Amino acid sequence: MTFHESDLRADLAAAYRLAERFGLNEGISNHFTARLPEPEDRFLVIPHGLHWSEVRASQLLVVDGDGIVVEGDGEVEPSALYIHSRILRARPDAMCVLHTHQTHATAISVIEGGRLLPVSQNALRFHDRIAYDSHYGGAADHAAEGERLAGALGDAAVLFHANHGVIVVGESIARGFDDLYFLERAAEVQLLAQSTGQALRSVPDSIAERYVSESRPNALRQQALVHFRALRRVLDAESPGYAD
């Protein structure tokens, strides 16, 4: 497949705008990044201070692993550099790193021993794909914390970082965004159900394992692509300019 940086920029700008539409953003904090294939260690990120709803593809910065802005106007925020550069370095399979403080998933991260429970179909897609980090040591604005978070993520697709938020990695922006979206929906349903105080129905491991059996990754990959294309059409109509 031929790589076009313009496609990657448009997808990343779309992901920022879509996340804002779904309420997954928080102020001007948090970041989505996308790996550039070469030179090694370079990635795209939003310039500090820009709102997610106004991102344009051409505004995205190219930053190297040392935090040098090699293309574009603006600054890279330290936690964007240290969380994202370290995870991209540790996970060559990841094309994107999506970090948010999205409300419902973050609420699970502040519960002692909080876990995304296998109580809804949406939660089942994350069976055996989540890592939990119970250590919170302050803002992730230095290299050691970025490296520690990358270690806590390991080979998982999702990291719940205690008292902070979630980090999702994806083999493509479409796949990462699809996971981020469904993670929030699954967390929301779980917390709503828990708020009733009534017992939850857990799906047995055997069913969850069958749900994510061998054919499932391909189905999810295809669904993510179709979902993201549909969402980009909505943006094209209602929030044009993101791909410019």
Q: How far apart are CA 181 and CA 177, in angstroms?
A: 6
Residue-by-residue DSSP string for 88-139: HHH-TT-SEEEEE--HHHHHHHTSTT----S-SHHHHTTTT-EEEE----S-
How far is Cα of residue 78 from the mean position of the Cα atoms in its chain? 18
Q: How far apart are CA 223 and CA 33, in angstroms?
A: 22
Residue closest to Zn ion, measured at CB: 165
Give me the least distance between CB of 163 and Zn ion, in Å please. 10
Residue closer to Zn ion by CB (options 146, 165) is: 165
Residue closer to Zn ion by CB (options 98, 186) is: 98
Beta bridge partners of 169: 97
- Give the contacts of 127 (CB within 8 A, at least 6 positions apart): 118, 208, 209, 211, 212
Give me the least distance between CB of 68 and Zn ion, in Å please. 22
Residue closer to Zn ion by CB (options 165, 170) is: 165
Task: Judge residue 129's burial from the number of C-beta atoms within 10 Å of its C-beta, 0-12 exposed, 13-18 middle, 19 or more buried.
Answer: middle
Q: Which span (3-11, 130-138, 161-169, 171-179) binds Zn ion, by CB under 5 A?
A: 161-169
Residue closer to Zn ion by CB (options 26, 54) is: 26
Give me the least distance between CB of 10 and Zn ion, in Å please. 25
Instruction: Count other Cβ atoms within 10 Å, centred on residue 10.
Output: 21
Give me the least distance between CB of 155 and Zn ion, in Å please. 22
Helix (H, G, I), strand (E, B) or coil at 162: coil
Q: Which span (18-26, 90-98, 158-166, 222-230) binds Zn ion, by CB under 5 A?
A: 158-166
Give me the least distance between CB of 30 and Zn ion, in Å please. 5
How many residues bind Zn ion, per CB under 5 A?
1
Residue closer to Zn ion by CB (options 139, 234) is: 139
Kindly write out the interface string for residues 165-204 of this chain, putting x where it contacts Zn ion by CB under 5 A and - elsewhere. x---------------------------------------
Residue closer to Zn ion by CB (options 139, 226) is: 139
Q: How far apart are CA 171 and CA 159, in angstroms?
A: 15
Residue closer to Zn ion by CB (options 118, 165) is: 165
Instruction: Count other Cβ atoms within 10 Å, centred on residue 103.
Output: 15
Give me the least distance between CB of 127 and Zn ion, in Å please. 25
Q: Which span (35-43, 44-52, 160-168, 229-237) binds Zn ion, by CB under 5 A?
A: 160-168
Query: One-letter amino acid identity for 72?
Result: G
Q: Which residues bind Zn ion (CB under 5 A)?
A: 165
